[in-house]
Amino acid sequence: MKILLVASEAAPFAKTGGLADVAGSLPLALRALGHDVRLILPWYQGVAAAHGATAKLGPTVTVTSGIRHHSVTLRQLQHQGLTVYFVDCPELFDRPGLYGDTAGDYPDNPERFGVFCRAVLQALEQLDFVPAVIHVNDWQSALIPVLLRTERRDDPLFAAIATVMTIHNLGYQGLFSQDILTTLGLSPALYGVEGLEYFGHVSLLKGGIVFADLVTTVSPTYCREIQTPGLGHGFDGLLRRRAADLHGVLNGLDPAQWNPAQAGSIPFPYSSTDLRPKGLNKRALQRELGLDVRPEQALVALVTRIDPQKGLDLVAEAAAELMTRPLQLVLLGSGERGLSESLAELGRRHPGRISVNLHFDEGLARRIYAASDLFLMPSRYEPCGLGQLIALRYGAVPVVRRTGGLADTVIDPRDAPRLANGFHFGPATPEALVEALDRALAAREKRRSWLELVRRGMNQDFSWDRSARRYLELYRLAMENARV
Ligand code: ADP
């Protein structure tokens, strides 16, 4: 099958979050199953710096968006056997950030990604590659199904192409003022409840939900949750109407990239058959971060964006109670300033017991996964979650709120003692969090059964192969939908 995956970020080229991991891994997994998959991304400043010398130049086209004309050049390179195209438009993408800088989001983001979507379709007119399916991701590429089913409806090149849209986080809706329809050169007729209108604004994500042949999200539980008022962000009615075409596919994790046995990535590599070096990683991290060197205390970690979604307020509220338990807390995160400040205050109040590190640091993140006994994710909602999957690989037992992908990947002994790999709690309260951590601490006292639980998590298969097969089934369903 010929598949074009469109994304605003993909590892290893450009990354701010989980979307990049999916868009980087899924095409390779589909390719390994024998399909002709190609990926297309914007040519950001960082991509140009790393790949400017090797990428081939392709055709240049003029992309018209409203009254503006943009000269866009297509670039192309091979990555692990995969053809990756880039949309090069310096006035829109030659900037330090993907979506913004320290001053916030770039104000012309709708135009940047609107032009990107138009350029993708114009690129297909130039290339010798007509996909059976275009798979778009989040609001930045959600305009593609809209364009295909409106402006391009009668174009024979595009008529047979099916579209699939994946929602990676419904909290990001591509919400802009009504006048962007003009900026993007879209018909005013699209402003309406059956189109892109969302409570007096325009939502580009909604465009994808309405016009794609099939919609997916990144875990089965999140797929159900977004159809409820509580977690539907105002889209639950629309999503319920599309329930027959809405599917949850769990993200995978690249086992080669996240491998505690890999020499050089952490101070003391280890595996499920030889866990002893894990204790050395713990001691090294306690020293590095100025924590008391106490092997017997459980090291509880959080590696996270600092955002209300992640439930860190529960940790702040529970901290005093937690400090009466034999544990230490280490947090690595970046994000919202107010919340960061209250977390930093915890670190100052409990030196030697709580270490708060407010920056983005992939190396430190890996040392934390390797050193920790428990990994905490008290998310209020979590579409899939990568942190708990990485933690499982590194033998850091997850303690999570039972929501979204966390509910689908973490099995509590209360539900299935022989399959358990972690602990969860239901209510988003500090009491429920402490109760789950207490159960984990008690389980850790029983050394043999604890090691069994740790090893079970480390040996679980979350590889992309299974998810890629599921996406293929859904691509076929989308093709059937597109035909009717
Ligand atoms: P989300 O995509 O909502 O941020 P996920 O759990 O799906 O949450 O993915 C988070 C990823 O980002 C994980 O790989 C985690 O290790 C990484 N990460 C988050 N914060 C940091 C940080 N401050 N430094 C390094 N890595 C981080």
Q: Do 406 and 287 belong to one domain?
A: yes
Output the six-digit token pair for 299: 């090291």
Mutate to test the pocket of ligand 1, among 303, 359, 368, 406 (most ligand atoms within 8 A of CB): 303
Report the pLDDT value the prediction gives residue 483, as an integer from 0 to 100.
81
Contact (Cβ atoms closer than 8 angstroms) between residue 173 and residue 205: yes
Contact (Cβ atoms closer than 8 angstroms) between residue 331 and residue 398: no
Q: Do 231 and 290 belong to one domain?
A: no
| 338 within some domain | yes
Cα-to-centroid distance, 303 and ligand 1 (Å): 6
CATH number at residue 34: 3.40.50.2000
Q: What is residue 55's DSSP assignment?
A: P
110 ligand 1 Cβ < 6 A:
no
- Read off the pLDDT of residues 381-436 as tens digits, 9 standing for 90 and up: 999 999 999 999 999 999 999 999 999 999 999 999 999 999 999 999 999 999 99
Residue 153 scores a pLDDT above 90: yes
Give the percent of the chain with pLDDT over 90.
93
106 ligand 1 Cβ < 6 A:
no
| 234 within some domain | yes
Q: Do 30 and 153 belong to one domain?
A: yes
CA distance 484 to 472: 19
Contact (Cβ atoms closer than 8 angstroms) between residue 384 and residue 251: yes
| 264 within some domain | no
- Read off the pLDDT of residues 222-255 as tens digits, 9 standing for 90 and up: 999 999 999 999 999 999 999 999 999 999 998 8
Per DSSP, the residues of 383-432 read SS-SHHHHHHHTT-EEEEES-HHHHHH---TTT-TTT---EEE-SSSHHH
Residue 201 scores a pLDDT above 90: yes
Q: Do 153 and 221 belong to one domain?
A: yes
- Read off the pLDDT of residues 93-146 as tens digits, 9 standing for 90 and up: 999 999 998 888 999 999 999 999 999 999 999 999 999 999 999 999 999 999
| 267 within some domain | no
Q: Do 167 and 23 belong to one domain?
A: yes
Cα-to-centroid distance, 404 and ligand 1 (Å): 16
Give the percent of the chain with pLDDT over 70.
100
| 260 within some domain | no
| 413 within some domain | yes
| 36 within some domain | yes
Mutate to test the pocket of ligand 1, among 304, 330, 393, 400 (most ligand atoms within 8 A of CB): 304
Q: Do 236 and 337 belong to one domain?
A: no
Report the pLDDT value the prediction gives residue 18, as an integer from 0 to 100.
86
Q: Do 362 and 450 belong to one domain?
A: yes
Mean pLDDT of 248-264: 93
The boundaries of the domain holding residue 311 are 276-461
Higher pLDDT, 167 or 16: 167
Mean pLDDT of 156-177: 96
Q: Do 22 and 120 belong to one domain?
A: yes
Q: Based on the structure, what is the number of domains in the chain? A: 2
304 ligand 1 Cβ < 6 A:
yes
What mean pLDDT value characterizes the chain?
96
Atom of ligand 1 nearest to the CA of 387: 6
Cα-to-centroid distance, 365 and ligand 1 (Å): 9
Q: Do 235 and 287 belong to one domain?
A: no
Q: Do 150 and 99 belong to one domain?
A: yes
Residue 256 scores a pLDDT above 90: no
Q: Do 77 and 58 belong to one domain?
A: yes
- Read off the pLDDT of residues 73-105 as tens digits, 9 standing for 90 and up: 999 999 999 999 999 999 999 999 999 988 889
pLDDT category, 196, cuts 50, 70, 90?
very high
Cα-to-centroid distance, 192 and ligand 1 (Å): 36
- Read off the pLDDT of residues 6-55 as tens digits, 9 standing for 90 and up: 999 999 999 988 899 999 999 999 999 999 999 999 999 999 999 999 89
**Among protein residues, the one whose CA lies closest to atom 18 of ligand 1:** 304
| 358 within some domain | yes
335 ligand 1 Cβ < 6 A:
no
Q: Spell out the long-range contacts of 78-84 with Cβ–Cβ below 8 A and sequence spacing 24 or more.
A: 79/12, 79/13, 80/28, 81/31, 82/27, 82/28, 82/31, 82/37, 82/38, 82/39, 83/38, 83/39, 84/10, 84/13, 84/38, 84/39, 84/40, 84/41
334 ligand 1 Cβ < 6 A:
yes
Which phi and psi angles does 235 have, rounded to 5°? -100, 0
Atom of ligand 1 nearest to the CA of 169: 3
Mean pLDDT of 301-326: 97
Q: Do 445 and 476 belong to one domain?
A: no
